[in-house]
Amino acid sequence: MTELFGQLNKVDPNKGLITLQLNTDDIHTLEKYHANGQPQVVSLIASDENGVSAQQRKFAFALLHDIWWSQVGGYWIETPETVKQHFYAMYEYYNSLDFGEFSLSAAKGTKTDTNQFINMLLDYAAIHDISLSVKPLNELEPQEIARWEYRCLMEKMCVVCGKKPSDLHHLDTVGSGRSRQHTNHLGHRAVQLCREHHNMAHSLGIETFMQRFKINGIKIDEKIAVAHGLNIK
């Protein structure tokens, strides 16, 4: 059995038909199964506003697989299932949940818990410099993007692709007519970008670049300033 994810586009109750939007890989998977001539049964699970979305689940499982593939973490990294159970248990412990209470299933899980679980996985990946197969900016819900932007500034990894090395890129004018070394950086917006995306930001223009990748920038606080050796006086 293969789990696929799609966006519901249209419902026709008179004909009993629905239209789904699937990505290219999932469409090819369905075509492969259909080509063998055997009847196919598709299970459809709908989630409400408070339920786990298909995109959340797909992203969370992709992160778990990336962590397993990295083999960073010790004996519990043995199989994808042990990785999943380890992080389930961690989330339950740190959020005072009973054993087995957390779930990514559409029937049992919640959107809020899943967002927090994804953030925990992203923190682990960032701290251990684990390469991600998917770009968080494409998968995170809008209200979660700022947290990723902040984490990237602290870990000095590109907010778009996660690459290192990367540099802090100022979004606001800093030190006009003065050396940046003598400017108070607190409160100025910034993002962390690798050389490739830094050049892209200059080529597109910063506003177009930010709109394309759905980022807003983070105001520099003392922790960010210390991490980057910025003046705060």
Mean pLDDT of 125-153: 94
Beta partners for residue 58, in sequence order: none
Mean pLDDT of 140-147: 93
Residue 191 · residue 181 · CB < 8 Å = no
CA 113 from chain centre, in angstroms, equals: 15
Is pLDDT at 169 greater than 90 in this prediction?
Answer: yes
SS3 49: coil
Residue 232 · residue 185 · CB < 8 Å = yes
- Of 162, 231, 149, 136, which is closest to residue 189 (Cα–Cα)? 149
Mean pLDDT of 209-230: 95
53-78: buried (b, 16+ CB within 10 Å) or exposed (e) per residue? bbebbbbbebbbebbbebeebeeebe
Listed by start position, the domains of the chain span 1-44, 54-134, 149-228
Q: Could you report the per-residue pLDDT of 173-208, keeping only the tens digit for each?
A: 765 555 566 688 999 999 999 999 999 999 999 999
Pairing of strands 167-170, 218-219: unpaired
Q: For residues 120 and 97, what is the distance between their CA atoms, to the nearest angstrom?
A: 15
Q: For residues 19 and 7, what is the distance between their CA atoms, to the nearest angstrom?
A: 9
What would the two tokens of residue 196 be? Answer: 């490739």
Q: What is the pLDDT of residue 48?
A: 46
Q: Could you report the per-residue pLDDT of 28-41, keeping only the tens digit for each?
A: 676 766 666 666 66
Q: For residues 127 and 134, what is the distance between their CA atoms, to the nearest angstrom?
A: 17
Q: Is the dihedral of CA 123, 3, 56, 9 positive or negative?
A: positive
Q: Could you report the per-residue pLDDT of 55-102, keeping only the tens digit for each?
A: 999 999 999 999 999 999 888 899 999 999 999 999 999 999 999 999
Q: Which residue has the tokens 């300033």?
A: 225
What would the two tokens of residue 141 be? Answer: 């819900």
Q: What proportion of the chain, given as a percentage, has pLDDT over 70?
A: 79
